[in-house]
Structure 1
Amino acid sequence: MPRSGLALTVGFAAEAVRESAPLVHCVAPRAATSFVADVLHGAGARSVVTGTSPDALAAAQTADAVMLDLGTLVAEWSDAVNPVVAQLRSAGTPWVLDATPLGRAPLRVDRVRALLGHRPTVVRASSSELDGVRLDAAEGALALGESAEHVVHNGREVAVLTGSSMLAQVAGVRAAVSALMAACSAVTGPLEAALAGAAWLALASERAEEHGRGPASFRVALIDALWTVRGDEIAEYLEL
């Protein structure tokens, strides 16, 4: 069956990440740091994973794409965040905002609104509303659900399979998916980047499950699977 133009673009995006090796700066929870870096390198990208200090955030301006996980900002909010993302927007640097709460700690709506005003390329969230406030990604894409199983852009919604159930046993998966989306956003548009990042990890996880005997071996097999999954296989996996 002939693939749609969107499917082909998603497939090309994955291959473009491997060819160009974009530098992705991720502000991620400490527990996710190692896995996020491994996932990005497994996909062929390069990574810098930091906390929220002003110096670390300033370094994000030298990256090809940025991922900001709001879970890192519940207990530590830096006044440097908004100026940095404003500069990213001005420079045309794609960035992903992961607005998923960390554990049971709520996110402050005013912080989310302020960051949305700087027009992230992709917004990750559990649902389309945050404390009764509807999320608006402007011209960006919304990736909704715990595993980004629904991606919405300009009124179009595309479903993505959730991958292996073993993903729930690996710390940092949510941040890693957002980081993959950021890597893809360096080479393609918002919808394609969100779909490519979500489907890339989901497909790799299904293959890794065949070789893993538990969480540790599954984690290693997942990184290897990310390295070997082809762009056309990601496009086919999406069934577009």
Structure 2
Amino acid sequence: MGAVSTPARPSAQQVADVRDAVAREHPLVQCLTNSVVTTITANVLLAAGAAPAMVDNPREAAQFARLASAVLVNVGTLDDERARAMALAAEAARGAGTPWVLDPVAVGGLAFRTSVARELLQHRPDVVRANASEVLGLEGSGTGGRGVDSTAGAEDALAAAHRLAERTGGVVAVSGEVDVLVHGGREVRVRGGSPLLTRTTGAGCALGALVAACTAAAGDPLLGAVTAHAHVALAAERAAARAGGPGSFAVAWVDELDAVDAAALRADVERGGRLA
């Protein structure tokens, strides 16, 4: 898809078109992500129709970022080499016009990762995807949550999200019971999902990768991020309806990410209540 103009709240057809584009175009997503979540991240991308590439070493990161459709930078398990690779990839992505997503895992409570994530902001991520405590920590209004768990709600981080979006020029997507996405003064809320997502290792990190894929397909970061969040929420609801617990949910969720096609996502958004 080419660049599009997104209203305050994307239409069901726009969301469906992005879902269709991901399945049809197979965007190549470079994932510089944490070692805990590589498998589920790759599987989620494959289920949605995208192509994962875990190219995360300093010798290759910048070169691949110029070739990829989109880049995910997730600071979950961070060391000096990964931090260098992330900076190189983010700089190359910005220079090449490759959309990139920052997931500032556990930022705010730990000095090293907070410093690395804040330095990455100079490369102006197209989307920052984080929980409320991470947004507050990244923006400088808070000290982080309890490890990867947020101790604040999405609405608590709304003002910080707007300031951060103004600083980067991109989208800030704040995860919570209701996800809130802000960009250029606009706000979109994505409702739904399942509490079992919070009991599935890597679900949020994989969402960041899907945001990258959808942003590449959409040509607009807000539309791409909204589509990814709506896709994940609907798939989670369908998976939870047939799962016996977190283990079976994780498998069913990946299956449903594959099963939720453009028509299903359009019908879901048209019914109302998903987007506000």
Alignment TM class, shorter chain as reference:
0.7 to 0.9
Question: What is the alpha-carbon distance in structure 2 between the residues aligned to residue 102 and residue 75 of structure 1?
Answer: 16
**Paired residue for 2:67?**
62
1:129 aligns with 2:136: yes
Which amino acid is the alignment partner of residue 246 of structure 2? Answer: P
Q: Does 1:206 align with 2:237?
A: yes
Aligned residues: 237
Alignment partners' CA distance in 2, 1:184 and 1:234: 18
TM-score norm. by structure 2 comes to 0.77
Structure 1 segment 15-94 matched on structure 2, within 5 A? 15-50=20-55, 52-58=56-62, 59-73=64-78, 77-94=82-99
CA distance in 2: counterparts of 1:151 and 1:5, whole angstroms: 10
| AA in 1 matched with 2:33 | A
Letter in structure 1 aligned against 2:141 = G
Q: Output the CA distance in 2 between the equivalents of 1:148 and 1:96.
A: 20
Deviation at 1:169, TM superposition (A): 2.0
* Superposition RMSD in Å: 2.6
- Report if the CA contact (8 A) 1:60-1:66 is conserved: yes
The equivalent residue for 2:194 is 164
1:235 to 2:269 alignment: yes
- The 2-side partners of 1:201 and 1:129 are apart by 24
**Is the counterpart of residue 114 in structure 1 residue 124 in structure 2?**
no
Of 70-79 and 212-221, more deviation after overlay is shown by 70-79
Shift of residue 239 of structure 1? 3.5
Structure 1 residue 61 displacement after superposition: 3.1
Deviation (angstroms), 1:83: 3.0
Task: Look up the match of 1:195.
Answer: 226
After TM superposition, give the deviation of residue 76 of structure 1 in Å.
5.5
Partner SS for 1:100: coil
74-83 or 168-177: which moved more? 74-83
Unaligned runs of 5+ in 1: none
Distance 1:148 1:22 in 2: 27
Check whether the contact 2:93–2:100 (CA below 8 A) recurs between aligned residues: yes
Q: Is the 8 A contact 1:24 1:67 kept in 2?
A: yes
Q: Deviations over 1:149-199 (max 9, x none)?
A: 110011111111241111122110111110010000111101111111111
> Where does the alignment leave 5 or more consecutive residues of structure 2 unmatched?
1-7, 143-159
* Kept after mapping to 2: 8 A contact 1:139/1:153: yes
The 5-angstrom pairing of residues 175-186 of structure 1 reads 175-186=205-216
For residue 243 of structure 2, what is the amino acid of its counterpart? G
Question: How far off is 1:49 after superposition?
Answer: 2.6
Select the residue among 103, 120, 128 that pairs with 1:98. Answer: 103
Structure 1 residue matching 2:169: 3-state secondary structure: coil
TM-score (norm 1): 0.87
